[in-house]
Chain A
Amino acid sequence: MAIISKGTWVEIEQIVLNPDQRAPSLPEETQKVPYVLRVSGFLIEDGQLGQDVKIKTIIGRQLSGTLRVVNPSYSHSFGKTIPELLTIGTDWEDK
């Protein structure tokens, strides 16, 4: 598996609480899954995907977890056009 060089911007994942460690009185579908954290930072040592690694976050905190993503990015968008919105407030509709 490819080696990810130290200094690369990555995202790690940690299981914070296993299902049996979670808060009381949760809905069943929440209770049965672990409580998971993800955070991004610069890799401190070379590592591989799926390995336990240490990162330095953007504010300089050192955190550890499983290396999940290299170069985590945002891809949220405006979505697919909802045609039902288009005619609101136009001559197509009686304002």
Chain B
Amino acid sequence: MTSRDISYDAVMSRKNEIMKSSMQLDYDEFIQSPIAFDYERMMTATGYSMDDIIRIQQETKVGNTPLYELKNLTNAVRRLSPKGKGARIFVKDEAANASGSFKARRASISAFDAQKKGYKGMIAATSGNYGAAVASQAAQRGLKCIIVQELYDSRGVGQPEIIEKARACEAYGAEVIKLTVGPELFYMLLRTLEETGFFNASLYTPFGIRGVESLGYEIAQQSRQLLGKDPDAVIVTHAGGGNVTGTARGLIAANANSTKVIACSVDLTGLHMASDRDFNRKSFTTGHTGFGIPFATWPDRVDVPRNAARSVRYMDEYHLVTQGEVFYITELLTKIEGLERGPAGNISLTAAVSLAREMDDDHVIVVQETEYTGAGKHHNSQLSFARENGIEVRRGDPADDCPGKTIIIPQHLAQVQSKRQDIDHLRRAYLSNAAHRYPVSQWSKADIAFLAQDIKKAPEWVQNNLPI
């Protein structure tokens, strides 16, 4: 235990030194200005090749998950589509990874690196599937594990999905620090890193993102084997950006350069993420706009000096769906495809159903994840909790959905319609955020080149869209 000052301000002021000693990764080497850094050099500095990543993941029951064609769902979509439309829908069953989600990929390289560097344990601050993934990977590598989790509102009430995630972490042998609502989660993470000297298994390190690259890589390989071609589109649930970034990088590593990367989130517009009141009024704890928009428009808001997850660098489209639409599709997947999976993993499937209608019937769309389900995570459990908490749950037109007040489950598949977002709007918001941190008048040519790459545009576009 430390005898140092553990007040909020004191711990936050020691942020940089705590970060440095908890990963042995010196970000100063890559940083070029207050906004720019050498992203590719940071990613390769992990020292792992794709072959290394695949081998490390095989050691701990991660990867090589099945790619299934959803024929009944595709047929259901085709019945609603114009002639010649209705792409073939495939799903990568990531629930087959140890701990039941793609997050095992994200935790696996951190666990390997922590073990290699001689750390006794690892810590992650997360309320998502990532906690169970870190706990499961730590268990296999003989490391201790602490998960710092936002779990309850001030009444001590926790949404059932989050409670289940805490249970899973404890099941894999982790100590779970269960906290009430607030951004002070980061403070608690720093305090615990300092007290224990454990490895910081942040979601946003290069290790975490490199671990997801094998997912995109496998999709390209499996698609070539099954279909003799690359998928036309891969659809990815987007929250903090790691899923989009890692998957897209993996596709690029496999030279699947014509495959579109489509991001998708649940629309929770209007709910405040740091609100004690709104905390239990949402049925999704991740994969939603409360993370998706802020992280897309400024990735460097995380628990490491520079975020390796940079979604706008890679996404070709961004779509939103409603909570009710995802619950509908989750039930439909169970009933007609015989796959009972968790709702958060089905966010991208929901958008895929909508997009497949617009795509030619010889095109292929891959939904790149599923997650496990069960008590707490199950969509019935979520809807039951919502109803008990005064949220109106009914069948109807999803256009009437209002996050925090209603959950409208579509009456028919035809009503499942994802909403395509204007990515240029996200790009301009990103540039404004960059200007907020470093005045435009100070931006060098190198800064502009970095920003252009980071939003997947040419430097001229940045020049023409400079924030005022």
The reply to whether the CB of B399 lies closer than 8 angstroms to some CB of chain A is no
Interface locus among B177-185, B210-218, B419-427: B177-185
Interface locus among B29-37, B220-228, B382-390: B382-390
Residue of A nearest to B336 (CB): A89
Chain B residues closer than 8 Å to A16, beta-carbon distance: 179, 184, 188
In the complex, the number of residue pairs spanning A and B with C-beta atoms less than 8 Å apart equals 143
Beyond A27-B272, A61-B196, A79-B380, whether A85 also contacts B163 by CB under 8 A is no
- CB of B334 within 8 A of CB of A89, answer yes
Q: Which 10 A-B pairs have the closest CB atoms?
A: A79-B384, A89-B335, A33-B154, A76-B376, A79-B381, A88-B331, A57-B175, A59-B144, A38-B178, A30-B276
Q: Min CB distance, A66 to chain B, in Å?
A: 13
- CB of B412 within 8 A of CB of A93, answer yes
Residue of B nearest to A36 (CB): B180
Chain A residues closer than 8 Å to B187, beta-carbon distance: 17, 23
What is the total number of residues of chain B having a CB less than 8 Å from a CB of chain A? 62
Q: Min CB distance, B196 to chain A, in Å?
A: 7
- CB of B179 within 8 A of CB of A37, answer yes
- CB of A23 within 8 A of CB of B183, answer yes
Question: A46 CA to B182 CA in the complex, in Å?
Answer: 33
Contacting A at CB under 8 A, from B368-418, are 375-376, 378-385, 387-388, 393-395, 409, 411-413
What would 17 more interface pairs be, CB under 8 Å, given A33-B276, A85-B327?
A17-B184, A21-B8, A23-B184, A23-B187, A30-B275, A35-B180, A36-B152, A37-B177, A39-B175, A40-B170, A41-B175, A57-B175, A59-B144, A59-B174, A74-B164, A77-B375, A85-B409
Q: Mark A1-45, 1 if CB is under 8 A from B, else 0.
A: 000000000000000110001110011011001111111110000
Residue of A nearest to B120 (CB): A59
Q: Min CB distance, B235 to chain A, in Å?
A: 21
The reply to whether the CB of B173 lies closer than 8 angstroms to some CB of chain A is yes
Chain B residues closer than 8 Å to A81, beta-carbon distance: 380, 384
Residue of A nearest to B166 (CB): A74
- CB of B175 within 8 A of CB of A95, answer no
- B-to-A contact residues, CB < 8 Å: 7-8, 76, 79, 121, 144-146, 151-152, 154, 160, 163-164, 167, 170, 173-184, 187-188, 196, 272, 274-277, 327-328, 331-332, 334-336, 375-376, 378-385, 387-388, 393-395, 409, 411-413
- CB of A17 within 8 A of CB of B8, answer yes
Q: Min CB distance, A79 to chain B, in Å?
A: 3
- CB of A89 within 8 A of CB of B184, answer no
Q: Min CB distance, B323 to chain A, in Å?
A: 13
- CB of A76 within 8 A of CB of B182, answer no
Q: Min CB distance, A8 to chain B, in Å?
A: 17
- CB of B178 within 8 A of CB of A77, answer no
Chain B residues closer than 8 Å to A57, beta-carbon distance: 175
Q: Which of B181, B196, B332, B393 contacts A82 (CB 8 A)?
A: B393
- CB of A33 within 8 A of CB of B376, answer no
Chain A residues closer than 8 Å to B121, beta-carbon distance: 59
- CB of B163 within 8 A of CB of A37, answer no
Most buried by B among A21, A27, A78, A93: A78
Beyond A37-B178, A89-B335, whether A27 also contacts B276 by CB under 8 A is yes
- CB of A39 within 8 A of CB of B177, answer yes
- CB of A88 within 8 A of CB of B328, answer yes
- CB of A95 within 8 A of CB of B381, answer no
- CB of B332 within 8 A of CB of A88, answer yes
Question: A40 CA to B146 CA in the complex, in Å?
Answer: 12
Q: Which of A60, A74, A89, A94 contacts B167 (CB 8 A)?
A: A74
- CB of A22 within 8 A of CB of B8, answer yes
Most buried by B among A29, A40, A77, A82: A82
Question: A28 CA to B412 CA in the complex, in Å?
Answer: 40
Chain A residues closer than 8 Å to B384, beta-carbon distance: 78-82
- CB of B381 within 8 A of CB of A77, answer yes
- CB of B412 within 8 A of CB of A29, answer no
Q: Pull 25 A–B residue pairs with CB atoms less than 8 Å apart, ordered by A.
A: A17-B184, A22-B8, A22-B182, A23-B183, A27-B276, A27-B277, A29-B277, A35-B182, A36-B152, A38-B178, A39-B176, A41-B175, A58-B175, A59-B145, A61-B175, A74-B164, A77-B160, A78-B380, A81-B384, A88-B409, A89-B331, A89-B334, A93-B412, A95-B76, A95-B79
